């Protein structure tokens, strides 16, 4: 192929997109559809709990349109970071939805799944090959063991392996945002500079256009560069809107590390072809001497209970910081007196929404607020303790006056009961990369045993093994393909 | 008495966002080259100023000046771990405000 057209209808599977975006993309000759299914952006809960951020119905709505389009055009569909965090449960969740739709629609597409979850003890055995990424420090085995889920972030190679094996639909675990769009054009032999830069530009769908809400984009990649255009005829890509997308959610706008090397757009040239299409050239990809896989892991830090009250009384609001300081002091005293707990047993955060909750100590505007929502967030090692602390604080959240008041006000609880148990809370514990000898060895690729049959049950069974479930089944029996083994396996 | 003029007065958009779980990044999209020249001046906006606004160490602050886009981009490690008890902005999407409200240099004309 001299050129490859990559269609990205939306930046997130389940976010929705106008059906016309797909129709238009196919009319323009799309060769592959690539959609991201995940992100760490919404926090560590989704990886820690192995639960998706998106609603199943929203994913199904998008997948139905995508599967119909891929089938009608006879082009591959690639979904990355399935189930938000790319855990094995996330891949299985999207696979289940996919097979249901294929059966309902009578579509005959071969679905490959790629698992990226990692075992802590496998990684602990090669700590010498795991390097911290700034601002993290060195890794130890205890940190790995503390994680509920660990995923490795795949590059394009495992996805290419699935496509080369004949997959029509690739459902990948955790993958770089760019790898899902880069895999097919790289497999077709297009040069990595334009491919990786185009993949970065399309990764958030319409984010690189002048109206990000108007559907997705199409990138046409060739040997010298790529052309990017929006799929809504009334939307536009401009040199500024495209170049500016390199700023989005990146630390460094000029270089980006991938498992196989570094995207370098510092010399890239962005030119308007017309009022809505942009040509990009002089993008570079610098291969790395050492292939690396970034790790993500999340662990439980405790259990939280939340209470929420609100204040409208101007007298209290006029000295809200004094009131909050008294509240913090009183909670400590009452919890100590009633429960016998001290600061090593629990922690709490008191947030004054409407005053300075968001920016806290760096809030530049200290004028008295008109009303304030008071959130008390309590964390402890177990749920019962967190809730007990919040309940002990309940009379204070209802009646605490300012020091100069000689009566008890009654404040405005938002709900009954006032307390809400939030369950386990998590933190990201890993920000590290592991050196690997093979870009595919950490990932497990599954294809259905019979590529011509539509049999959701057997495929779901074959792919439902997590790495920590059974060490002897790292590649389940039903795997039709074995990826190359190497020292990392 | 005129209000103090701020960076926001010369910008199309000032925004902030996580750049992965451990970093926050901000962009000043200036209206024109004149506004860009003001905010790109290291004597006005530098790592020490950013560190003061956000309570972080100056040597962790990275600043990228991009004249082709009239953009100054600033990245530093997240001072509060994402999703932790004291993280009040999970996406770090509202942390541009102290920067946007930073007073412009020199006399107001």
Domain residue spans of chain B: 7-100
* Residue contact A251–B101, C-beta within 8 A: no
Measured CA to CA, the distance from residue A440 to residue A398 in angstroms comes to 57
Domain boundaries for CATH 3.30.70 within chain A: 299-428
**Which one of B14, B26, B69, B95 makes the best mutation probe of the A interface by having the most chain A beta carbons within 10 Å?**
B69
Closest CB to B88 among A133, A252, A358? A358
Provide the token pair at A413: 């609880």
Let me know: does B27 contact A247? Beta carbons within 8 Å. yes
Q: How confident is the model at residue B106 (pLDDT cuts 50, 70, 90)?
A: confident
The CATH class of B7-100 is alpha beta
Query: Does residue A248 sit at the B interface (CB-CB below 8 Å)?
Result: yes
Measured CA to CA, the distance from residue B108 to residue A425 in angstroms comes to 48
Measured CA to CA, the distance from residue A375 to residue A39 in angstroms comes to 27
**Which one of B16, B54, B68, B83 makes the best mutation probe of the A interface by having the most chain A beta carbons within 10 Å?**
B83
Query: Does residue A358 sit at the B interface (CB-CB below 8 Å)?
Result: yes
Measured CA to CA, the distance from residue A280 to residue A189 in angstroms comes to 19
* Residue contact A135–B54, C-beta within 8 A: no
φ, ψ of residue A141 in degrees (nearest 5)? -65, -35
The residues, any chain, with a CB within 8 Å of residue B36's CB and separated by 6 or more, are: B30, B67, B70, B71, B72
The residues, any chain, with a CB within 8 Å of residue A338's CB and separated by 6 or more, are: A392
pTM greater than the 0.80 cutoff: yes
pLDDT at A57: 98
Let me know: does A352 contact A322? Beta carbons within 8 Å. no
**How many other CB atoms are found less than 10 A from the CB of residue A468?**
14
Measured CA to CA, the distance from residue A468 to residue A115 in angstroms comes to 12
Measured CA to CA, the distance from residue A296 to residue A429 in angstroms comes to 7
Q: How confident is the model at residue B2 (pLDDT cuts 50, 70, 90)?
A: low
In chain A, whose CA is at the least distance from the CA of B87? A358
Q: In chain B, positions 14-73, which contact chain A (CB-CB < 8 Å)? A: 17-23, 25, 27, 29, 53-55, 60, 62, 64, 66, 68-69, 71, 73
Q: How confident is the model at residue B107 (pLDDT cuts 50, 70, 90)?
A: low
Q: How confident is the model at residue B3 (pLDDT cuts 50, 70, 90)?
A: confident
* Residue contact A362–B71, C-beta within 8 A: no
Query: Does residue B95 sit at the A interface (CB-CB below 8 Å)?
Result: yes
pLDDT in tens, chain A (489 residues): 799 999 999 999 999 999 999 999 999 999 999 999 999 999 999 999 999 999 999 999 999 999 999 999 999 999 999 999 999 999 999 999 999 999 999 999 999 999 999 999 999 999 999 999 999 999 999 999 999 999 999 999 999 999 999 999 999 999 999 999 999 999 999 999 999 999 999 999 999 999 998 999 999 999 999 999 999 999 999 999 999 999 999 999 999 999 999 999 999 999 999 999 999 999 999 999 999 999 999 999 999 999 999 999 999 999 999 999 999 999 999 999 999 999 999 999 999 999 999 999 999 888 999 999 999 999 999 999 999 999 999 999 999 999 999 999 999 999 999 999 999 999 999 999 999 999 999 999 998 765 544 443 333 343 444 444 433 333 333 333 433 334 333
Q: Which residues pair with A453 in a beta bridge?
A: none
Q: Which residues pair with A302 in a beta bridge?
A: A425
* Residue contact A42–B91, C-beta within 8 A: yes
Query: Does residue B91 sit at the A interface (CB-CB below 8 Å)?
Result: yes
Q: How far is CA A259 from CA A8, A55, A84, A150, A440, in A?
A: 22, 30, 20, 17, 11
Query: Does residue B90 sit at the A interface (CB-CB below 8 Å)?
Result: yes
In chain B, whose CA is at the least distance from the CA of A136? B22
Number of inter-chain CB pairs under 8 A, A vs B: 102
Let me know: does A79 contact A35? Beta carbons within 8 Å. yes
Query: Does residue B98 sit at the A interface (CB-CB below 8 Å)?
Result: yes
Q: Which fold has domain A299-428?
A: Alpha-Beta Plaits (3.30.70)
Closest CB to B64 among A253, A347, A427? A253
Q: How far is CA A143 from the centre of its chain?
A: 21
* H runs (alpha helix) in A74-133: 88-105, 120-124
**Which one of A207, A253, A350, A390 makes the best mutation probe of the B interface by having the most chain B beta carbons within 10 Å?**
A253
The residues, any chain, with a CB within 8 Å of residue A232's CB and separated by 6 or more, are: A18, A20, A21, A24, A206, A211, A214, A215
């Amino acid at each position: 192929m001299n050129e490859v057209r990559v269609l990205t209808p939306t930046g997130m599977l389940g976010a929705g997109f106008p059906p016309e975006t797909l129709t238009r993309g196919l009319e323009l000759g799309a060769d592959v559809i690539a959609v991201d299914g995940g992100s760490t952006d919404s926090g560590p809960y989704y990886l820690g709990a192995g639960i998706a951020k998106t609603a199943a119905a929203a994913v199904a709505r998008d997948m139905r349109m995508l599967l119909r389009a891929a089938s009608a055009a006879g082009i591959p569909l690639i979904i990355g970071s399935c189930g938000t965090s790319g855990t094995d449960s996330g891949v299985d969740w999207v696979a289940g939805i996919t097979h249901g739709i294929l059966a309902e629609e009578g579509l005959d597409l071969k679905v490959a799944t790629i698992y990226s979850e990692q075992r802590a003890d496998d990684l602990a055995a090669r700590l010498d090959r795991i390097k911290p990424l700034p601002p993290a420090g060195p890794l130890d085995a205890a940190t790995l063991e503390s994680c509920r889920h660990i995923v490795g972030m795949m590059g394009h190679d495992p996805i290419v392996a699935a496509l080369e094996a004949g997959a029509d639909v690739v459902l990948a675990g955790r993958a770089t945002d760019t790898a899902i769009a880069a895999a097919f054009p790289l497999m077709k032999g297009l040069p990595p500079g334009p491919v990786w830069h185009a993949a970065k530009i399309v990764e958030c769908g319409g984010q690189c256009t002048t109206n990000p809400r108007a559907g997705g984009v199409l990138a046409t990649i060739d040997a010298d560069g790529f052309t990017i255009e929006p799929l809504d005829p009334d939307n536009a890509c401009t040199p500024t809107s495209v170049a500016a997308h390199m700023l989005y959610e990146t630390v460094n706008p000029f270089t980006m590390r991938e498992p196989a090397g570094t995207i370098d757009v510092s010399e890239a040239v962005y030119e308007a072809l017309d009022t809505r299409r942009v040509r990009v050239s002089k993008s570079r990809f610098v291969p790395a001497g050492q292939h690396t896989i970034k790790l993500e892991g999340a662990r439980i830090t405790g259990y939280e209970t939340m209470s929420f009250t609100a204040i409208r009384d101007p007298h209290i609001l006029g000295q809200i910081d004094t009131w909050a300081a008294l509240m913090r002091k009183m909670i400590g005293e009452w919890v100590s007196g009633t429960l016998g707990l001290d600061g090593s047993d629990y922690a709490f955060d008191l947030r004054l929404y409407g005053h300075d909750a968001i920016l806290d100590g760096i809030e530049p505007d200290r004028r008295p607020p008109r009303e304030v929502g008071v959130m008390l967030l309590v964390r402890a090692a177990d749920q019962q303790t967190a809730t007990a602390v919040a309940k002990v604080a309940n009379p204070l959240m209802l009646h605490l006056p300012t020091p100069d008041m000689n009566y008890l006000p009654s404040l405005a609880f938002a709900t009954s009961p006032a307390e809400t148990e939030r369950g386990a809370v998590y933190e990201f514990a890993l920000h590290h990369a592991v050196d690997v000898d093979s870009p595919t060895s950490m990932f497990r690729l599954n294809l259905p045993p019979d590529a011509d049959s539509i049999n959701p049950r057997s495929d779901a069974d074959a792919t439902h093994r997590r790495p920590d479930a059974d060490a002897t089944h790292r590649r389940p029996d039903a795997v039709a393909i074995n990826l190359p083994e190497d020292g990392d396996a | 008495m005129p209000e103090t003029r701020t960076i926001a007065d010369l910008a199309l958009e000032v925004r902030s966002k996580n750049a992965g779980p451990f970093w926050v990044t901000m962009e000043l999209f200036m209206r024109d080259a004149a506004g860009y020249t003001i905010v790109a001046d290291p004597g006005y906006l530098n790592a020490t100023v950013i560190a003061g606004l956000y309570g972080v160490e100056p040597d962790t602050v990275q600043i990228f000046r991009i004249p082709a886009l009239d953009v100054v981009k600033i990245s530093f490690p997240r001072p509060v771990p994402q999703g932790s008890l004291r993280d009040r902005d999970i996406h770090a999407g509202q942390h541009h405000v102290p920067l946007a409200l930073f007073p412009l240099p020199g006399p107001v004309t």
